[in-house]
Structure 1
């Protein structure tokens, strides 16, 4: 009972929903930067936008989502067949604002000249 009081001004929201990056595209002169994420089916467009904006400080302008049903499979044994199904998932196509041009997908950095050793 002692020490279990939680102060209301110190509450924090920690996300428990995983977001996995599937693919990304850098911005060009005609198209903005885009990324595709794999998320849980219960996540909404608003939650995805708030997640990326508040945690990663990304300028999200648009979120499009597509629901996918998990594949159904059959394992054939000696006496009977067993049916199983993969998890359902959702893909989110996120368009970023003009402030983000590089999504960081392995662009090469220019190598600087090595410093000469002192004699």
Structure 2
């Protein structure tokens, strides 16, 4: 099972990383728990994780008007994890680009 789906790099998470240099945000599998997330981050990035905070987001209903009428859909639900690393450790997301 794939625990970490992708890192979340937005304005808010970038500002959070500037304020707290050792805090990173990831989109994770909805059924993953904090221990699994911690082990996956430690294995993938070779860092020491101090804490993991998780958030579950519900899917949202969306609708838009087109020439053919009203189209309805749903944005998928997802889970987000904020990982705090040990002091002095960092993750470079742009190293593999």
Q: State the partner residue of 1:20.
A: 6
Q: State the partner residue of 1:82.
A: 71
Match of 1:38 among 17, 27, 50: 27
* Alignment length (residue pairs): 88
C-alpha contact (below 8 Å) 2:22/2:88 kept by paired residues = no
SS of residue matched to 1:19 = strand
Residues 14-64 of structure 1 show CA distances to partners (whole Å, capped at 9, x for unaligned) of x534421114526x8xx5611011122222111111111123221001000
Counterparts in 2 of 1:1-119, with a 5 A limit? 15-23=1-9, 25=17, 31=20, 33-77=22-66, 80-100=69-89, 102-104=90-92
Greater per-residue strand proportion: 2
Taking only aligned residues, the RMSD between alpha carbons, in angstroms, comes to 2.6
SS of residue matched to 2:56 = strand
RCO (CA 8 Å, sep 6+): is it higher in 1 or 2? 2
TM-score of the two chains, using structure 2 as the length reference = 0.70
Stretches (4+) displaced over 6 A: none
Greater per-residue helix proportion: 2
C-alpha contact (below 8 Å) 1:59/1:99 kept by paired residues = no
User: What residue ranges of structure 2 are gaps of 5+ in the alignment?
Assistant: none
Aligned equivalents of 1:82 and 1:70: distance in 2?
17
